Structure 1
Amino acid sequence: MKGKAAAPQGKERTRKVPASLHQRILGDIQGNILSGRWGPGQRIPVEHELMRQYRCSRMTVNKVLTQMAQAGMIERRRKVGSFVRRPQSQSAVLSIPDIKAEVDALNLPYRFEILKRSKRAASRELRALLGTDESVPLLELVCRHFAGDQPFCLEYRLVNLQAVPAAATADFDETSPGAWLLRQVPWNVADNRIRATGANADEAARLQVKSGSPCLVVERTTRAAQSPITFVRLTYPGNLHELIATFTPLGASAPQPA
């Protein structure tokens, strides 16, 4: 009886091998993509190379690649091969996005770094960006956000220390300046400006793109009552980001939730 009981267990173990091999191949390819080892646009090993590497059937490899294509991680091109897809982020035009949430939506690890931080008086040019005539003290920040190992967005920010004095001593070690402000400071008006531009030499170096590459720039001034809180300029590589919005005709009422 013991011998009879052992046979089904052996068969069960055999049936589980293809599934674990599938997960192993899937995990290896995902790891290469998410770590940045295989960058956007790079062709991944073709089916017969993966079959030889993992000593498996073409069906197993095909199922893995199909699953990854459906998840949006790779793009399969007939008779050419499979390529790492370039992730594209979306954000709403009339909202203030959380950049970490944008990157999380791409299923990529997020991090940020502060490249510059200084206190300064408001020059005429900086007052114009904030939309104020007052010579207020400012915190000037330059921050770079990453999706995986790739720069995702370059942030230039001015914070009105007269309106938000706590920003002067905030460490921004765990939370980016934009996310910190969203959590700490109430606002009621945000002016948005959206434009396209070519990356200058400094922006290109920080975003790891060629000088002159098209970029999407979103500028926003946020206010509480009549007092400006912050000005921010977010510069995205143009092929990695799009803005979306829903509009209704003037005078038409918005659809009510069900």
Structure 2
Amino acid sequence: MSGAFGLDRETNRNVAMNQSRDPTLHQRILGDIEGRIVSGEWPPGHRIPFEVDLATQYDVSRMTVNKVLTQLAKAGLIERRKKSGSFVTQPQAQSAVLEIHDIKAEVQSLNLPYSYAVSKKTSRKAKAEDSRRLELPLTSSVVEVVCIHNAGARPFCLEERLISLATVPEAADADFLTVAPGPWLLNQVPWSTAEHRIHAVSASAEVAAALDIARNTACLVVERRTWSGAGPVTHVRFTYPGDRHALVARFTPASQ
């Protein structure tokens, strides 16, 4: 009997030790998996190791692993499928149709690190297409800026922007290396009117290369023009992979 009681005490002690270290291990497992997802090491669609394999790898109970995966699923980082396992989800941002949305905020809403890079910045005379986009005379001068906004390790959005130098002459000297053109303009010029145009396109070879997607992939394009009291400010075209972005409009019934 004493041997049996001794075995029970040893078992209880081991259980207590496992339980005491579970909170720390919980955070470690959570941090490891979240880090691999956010960094892009485990891309969307990647199968997460099975609970039993993770439990063996971290030397914890399946209950601890289950709690971690449940927490990740609630955060929207993984999708749990009955009988199939757990998979990294495809993050999808959303922005309001009638607002001047901030791409950095969109990315951060997905719990992903944001970064961007300027791939082109030139000052030049307006071309016929520029004149159409900004409603400017052909004798006008513009700044053209092309940026890639990233969510984690993946391209999130391609930004192609024209800025009227007649309205915003400071844009000629701005390098946009630390502040993206959108936030920079909002701090420089108070806009009075904005126009949005939303449509779908198939990715051209150039867009596909910029967004790291297959050519002809369905993309969502949001075009915006803004004006101030001094005239046209900017025309910008944002191109998103179609499965990564949604536009939302909230409204109330019109009065009868």
Q: TM-score, normalised by structure 1?
A: 0.90
Q: Please say if 1:180 is aligned against 2:190.
A: no
The aligned amino acid for 2:47 is R
Aligned to 1:16: 20
Aligned to 1:113: 117
Q: How many pairs does the alignment contain?
A: 242
Aligned CA RMSD, in angstroms, stands at 1.6
Aligned to 1:29: 33
Counterparts of residues 96-245 of structure 1 (less than 5 Å) = 96-133=100-137, 135-225=139-229, 227-245=231-249
The aligned amino acid for 1:217 is V
The aligned amino acid for 1:160 is S
How much has 1:125 moved relative to structure 2?
1.4
Please give the alpha-carbon distance, in whole angstroms, between the structure 2 residues aligned to 1:199 and 1:62: 40
How much has 1:135 moved relative to structure 2?
2.5
How much has 1:133 moved relative to structure 2?
3.3
Contact 2:95 / 2:101 at 8 angstroms: preserved in 1? Answer: yes
Aligned to 1:53: 57
Contact 1:194 / 1:218 at 8 angstroms: preserved in 2? Answer: yes
Report the secondary structure of 2:115's partner residue.
strand
Percent identity at matched positions? 54
Please give the alpha-carbon distance, in whole angstroms, between the structure 2 residues aligned to 1:27 and 1:246: 36
Please give the alpha-carbon distance, in whole angstroms, between the structure 2 residues aligned to 1:13 and 1:171: 57
How much has 1:250 moved relative to structure 2?
3.8
The aligned amino acid for 1:36 is G
Please give the alpha-carbon distance, in whole angstroms, between the structure 2 residues aligned to 1:197 and 1:167: 29
Segments of structure 1 that go 5 or more residues without pairing to the other structure are 1-10, 253-258
Q: Can you list the C-alpha shifts for 1:1-24, whole angstroms capped at 9, x where unaligned?
A: xxxxxxxxxx99765311001111
Q: Please say if 1:79 is aligned against 2:80.
A: no
Q: TM-score, normalised by structure 2?
A: 0.91
Contact 1:138 / 1:160 at 8 angstroms: preserved in 2? Answer: yes
